[in-house]
Structure 1
Amino acid sequence: MQQTADQQVHNLIRGAGKAKGERGRAKMDIVESKQISEPIKSEAQISHLALDIGGSLIKLVYFSTNSDSSSSSSKDSVAVSSGNEGRPVLEGKLHFAKFETAKINDCIDFIRSKQLRLSGFQKHGAPAGERCTIKATGGGAYKYADLFKEKLGICLDKEDEMDCLVAGSNFLLKAVHTEAFTYMDGQKEFVQIDHDDLYPYMLVNIGSGVSMIKVDGPGKFERVSGTNVGGGTFWGLGRLLTKCKSFDELLELSHRGNNRVIDMLVGDIYGGMDYTKIGLSSTTIASSFGKAISDNKELEDYKPEDISRSLLRMISNNIGQISYLNALRFGLKRIFFAGFFIRGHAYTMDTIAVAVHFWSKGEAKAMFLKHEGFLGALGSFMSYEKHGFLNLKVHQLVQQSPVDASRGGDKIHDPPNGELNENQSIDCSICLS
């Protein structure tokens, strides 16, 4: 009987382990590929699904083998070729997708349509036909566990959320040579990370709320602070004030806005002058939404785009300031910002970067991650290693940003310069040894 792709992968991994003994577990080498990413084909073999189910969004990561690889003997076989030192290689792609948690059925339909439920690993020694078990993290892994069992026959094997965030961050910073970058005044500059000098650093994950995590090494971290004013605040308040129906619509609206119509600036208080004694320019925001106090206007008199811009500026400024103050507590000058609040949005990144630069007097820099929203999902994906399925030995990844699968492949968001979003998958190879 012909084996499925997962059975072949599983047997390859088990065989490699037996050949090498206890220390010879499967190794995954992520290597740079110059191939252009293409949409996943129907005949591609899919495996290693992992989820991060948050309060606002569901993030999904999965690996598919290249069915059209020159090393494949047929469409039904796994693409296996000889790697360095004769090691077998599974060539394929890491795919990323996201869905609104409120529309969780869209995610379930996507998993069903891709037959991703067939790709999870059964528990060792479990009888054939037992429900598939896949890795998942986030509060929704608990909240929606019964729903996944009912709809897909999937059992969610839960991984700790903070463990996954840090594991995903460490993985990306070591694996992707163009993962981290700074962004200020419209200028994007990649930062080369010295793997021997990565730790300690501050990881600021901006989801519905914000977590600030001091990372001291692999598996060594502490959540040192956080704030409840985050992406959920922007989305929630924005929906109430502008009637926008989605985060992306609200973000798009901010492009056309002018926050100075609503925000009270230092110059508004000082007659257009700077307050030089304490280092405040006339354009510094003295009070977010402050002009609404004195304006004899109702909510409908303000443009939704101005409200969106002011709200985005307020939240981004505060996250940047609070993050730096917490980094200062521990003497950290390296701060990485991640989470789907950012979405490669130029104005958001610039605002956070300016806040860090201002409060640190230029001594610290805000850095951003290309795979900003998928740290938890990647960490969940990597947790298969704990069970002997994957042992990640990292070289390089070709970074490409994800799409929103629920919107039929549209880009998540196009910043004004259009340079921060590319395609949806990462070309990679899994080397087994």
Structure 2
Amino acid sequence: MSSESNQAEAEAIAPHLQQPSSRPQADHQQPESRDPELRNDGLPSQTGQLTTHLSPNAALTTATTPTITSPEIATASTPVTALTSATTSPPSANRQRASTAGPIELDTALSHPGSVRINVEGAFIVEHGSASPPQTPSGSSSRGGSPNRQESKDIRLPNHTAIVSHIAVDIGGSLAKLVYFSREPHSTEPGGRLNFVSFETDHIDDCLEFMRALKHKHQMLNESNIGPELCVMATGGGAYKFYDMIRDVLGVDVIREDEMECLIIGLDFFITEIPREVFTYSEADPMNFVDPSTHRYPYLLVNIGSGVSFLKVTGPRDYQRVGGTSLGGGTLWGLLSLLTGARSFDEMLDMASKGDNSKVDMLVGDIYGTDYGKIGLKSTTIASSFGKVFRLKRQAETEAEDSGGLSPVDVDEVLSSATEAGGPSTSSTTLPGNKHFSSADVSVSLLYAISNNIGQLAYLQSQIHELSNIYFGGSFIRGHPQTMNTLSYAIKFWSKGAKQAYFLRHEGYLGAVGAFLKRQPQNWGRRGSFDQATAMEARMNARTRTRDVDNE
């Protein structure tokens, strides 16, 4: 993308860009952020393609009510009020994003960036661009895989009025995930929403241009140079790789946070604070939502990005990376880019949803002719991933030679041409004849192979460490039904129903949310704290009024 087009896009976005921030909060946050050394056990980065959860009208505005900035309050342990169980429906594709705009009063908050608090009372996940919770929630969702899909998964915060003054970004090997706060436009109601945007890391310049547009809008609305006052909370490997670039381009402070810790903080927040965020998945009950709970430890977090990490979590800051595998989202993306014409991760998932793995995989039924009930294997169970490919390829070569057609080399060229063709038509690409498999069949076979492997490793790690609850995160999942069903089934099968797999609607943003929360005062984001903060603010205002009366 050229600098001219980037500038044009930034100008198109700028009229409504609102002040950067991230999601609400999690457990015990530190008043001051740390800049730790990069861990040797850093989590594998996320996978995926450019996905912008943003409306052209999304505005980076701030609240008309400044946040509490008294040193007494800024260091107080003031969690947020408990959530009401808002009724929302699961995600759906092609949602319209409500625009955001509003007045700005940044001076106070920007001079005290660590004193921001978010009121998550009544928070809900926005559906179809609605600014209020839907009255009739739906129980299931199937998300499409279009590369140009814009999917609204904003979190509406109807009762938040304080100012948010920083952006959070989690830069992985494949995706850079950004979170910021915006106000509702043309509305007299308080509150706003948390917006989620992701960019391919290969196009990090686009991400930086977007962040620069946010900063520029701050300056325009505040009529002052507030750049140095803004703060970027960064995590992931890219927080180190692109550290100098971010500082040079944006001219703001960049605070780097530990990747593993941010993942845990972000996950803990979603588990405890956001209704209809965490759910279980099965074919019979696609999205069975779990109520927010403070009783969450211990658990296993399986973060699936370019690679996979397994984290045993026993407390807010008590965790251990107990294992990992290099066979993750990057493996799927890389191999399918060679084997098919798909050019994006979402296109690969879309292709997989149309495929039939039985044309590629060798199943139990292919070997036994039926189920193998004695050991609990259905006839449709995969015995060997890609087990039929060699035989079918040889069969195609033989048929071609017998008919005086293609030679084995020609068949290889047909396969190679499929990877170069590109475009949606690749889902039906086949070898000579109609008996053989398509690119869609290859895609779903590889998706199952990688997902089954991750699922079994997750079960083994949970068994070793005696953990019953397993949370799957990372941009590899992307709400894809086949992926979630495979992972969930693997946990249920191997544990004989003793362990439970959980998924999240913001699975790819755990690190970004955690990084944002690390900037907040201690205990910011915990249940019941907003009432305490409000009461303290009232006492401070009362003291001020008393002093004013005495001085008159």
Give TM-score, length-normalised by structure 2.
Answer: 0.60
Is this contact kept in 2: 1:44–1:65, CA < 8 A? no
Q: How does 1:236-251 map to 2 (within 5 A)?
A: 236-251=334-349
Q: What is the alpha-carbon distance in structure 2 between the residues aligned to residue 30 and residue 95 of structure 1?
A: 22
1:342 to 468, 477, 482: 477
The answer to whether the aligner puts 1:41 opposite 2:176 as a matched pair is no
1:275-294 correspondence runs (5 A): 275-294=372-391
CA–CA distance in structure 2, aligned partners of residues 354 and 8 of structure 1: 45
Aligned residue number for residue 407 of structure 2: none
> Does the CA contact (< 8 Å) of 2:363 and 2:379 recur in 1?
yes
2:268 aligned partner:
170
Identical columns (%): 44
Render the CA deviation track for 1:155-184: whole Å, top value 9, x for unaligned. Answer: 421000000000000111000232221111
2:120 paired residue number:
none
Residues 223, 166 of structure 1: CA spacing in aligned structure 2 closer, same or farther, 3 A cutoff? same
Return the letter of the residue paired with 2:99.
I
Residues 320-339 of structure 1: CA distance to partner in whole angstroms, max 9, x if unpaired?
A: 11101100111111111111
Aligned to 2:243: 145
Report the Cα distance in structure 1 between the residues aligned to 2:324 and 2:64, rounded to whole angstroms: 40
Counterpart selection for 1:192 from 291, 294, 298? 291
Q: Is the 8 A contact 1:13 1:26 kept in 2?
A: no
For the residue of structure 2 that corresponds to 1:384, the secondary structure is coil
Query: Are the equivalent residues in 1 in contact too, given 2:300–2:311 (CA < 8 A)?
Result: yes
The corresponding residue for 1:393 is 526
The aligned residue for residue 462 of structure 2 is 327
TM-score, scaled to structure 1: 0.76
Give the direction of change, closer, same or farther, for the CA distance of 1:190–1:116 in structure 2 (3 Å limit): farther
Going from structure 1 to structure 2, the CA distance change for 1:118 and 1:28 (only over 3 Å counts) comes to farther
Residue by residue over 1:264-308, the C-alpha shift from the partner in whole angstroms, topping out at 9 and shown as x without a partner, is 1111122x1222332222211011111112221556224111111
Distance 1:138 1:44, change over 3 A: farther
Once the two structures are overlaid, the 10-residue window that deviates more, 184-193 or 363-372, is 184-193
Aligned residue number for residue 24 of structure 1: 76
- CA drift of 1:148 comes to 1.4
Cα distance, 1:149–1:282 mapped onto 2, change above 3 Å: same
Q: How far did residue 204 of structure 1 move?
A: 0.8
Paired letter, 2:520:
E
- The alpha-carbon deviation at position 24 of structure 1 amounts to 3.0
CA offsets per residue over residues 121-152 of structure 1, 9 Å max, x none? Answer: xxxxxx98647431000000111112212322
CA 241–305 in structure 1, closer or farther in 2 if over 3 Å, else same: same
SS of the equivalent of 1:172 reads helix
Instruction: Quote how far apart the aligned CAs of 1:92 are.
Output: 1.9
Amino acid at match of 2:263: L
Matched, 1:104 2:239: no
Report which stretch shifted further, 283-292 or 178-187.
178-187
| The structure with more strand, counted as a fraction of residues | 1
1:181 aligns with 2:279: yes
Per the TM alignment, residue 38 of structure 1 is displaced from its structure 2 partner at its CA by: 4.6
Which residue does the alignment assign to 1:92?
Answer: 192
Counterpart contact for 1:210–1:230, Cα < 8 Å? yes
The answer to whether structure 1 residue 233 and structure 2 residue 331 are counterparts is yes
Question: 1:75 — aligned with what?
Answer: none
Kept in 2: contact 1:186–1:350 (CA 8 A): no
Please point out which of 309, 314, 318 is paired with 2:444. 309
Q: Tell me, what secondary structure is at the counterpart of 2:276?
A: coil
Q: Which amino acid aligns with 2:487?
A: I
Aligned CA distance change for structure 1 residues 104 and 395 (closer, same or farther; 3 Å):
farther
Higher mean displacement: 372-381 or 143-152 = 143-152
Local SS of the residue matching 2:507: coil
Whether the aligned pair in 1 keeps the contact of 2:170 and 2:236 (CA below 8 Å) is: yes
Instruction: Output the CA distance in 1 between the equivalents of 2:336 and 2:528.
Output: 42
Alpha-carbon spacing, 1:215–1:251, altered in 2? closer, same or farther (3 Å): same
Residue aligning to 1:60: 178
Structure 1's 167 and 280: CA in aligned 2 closer, same or farther, altered over 3 A? same
Per-residue deviation at 1:11?
6.4
- Bigger Cα Rg: 2
How large is the Cα RMSD of the aligned pairs? 3.1
Matched, 1:273 2:378: no
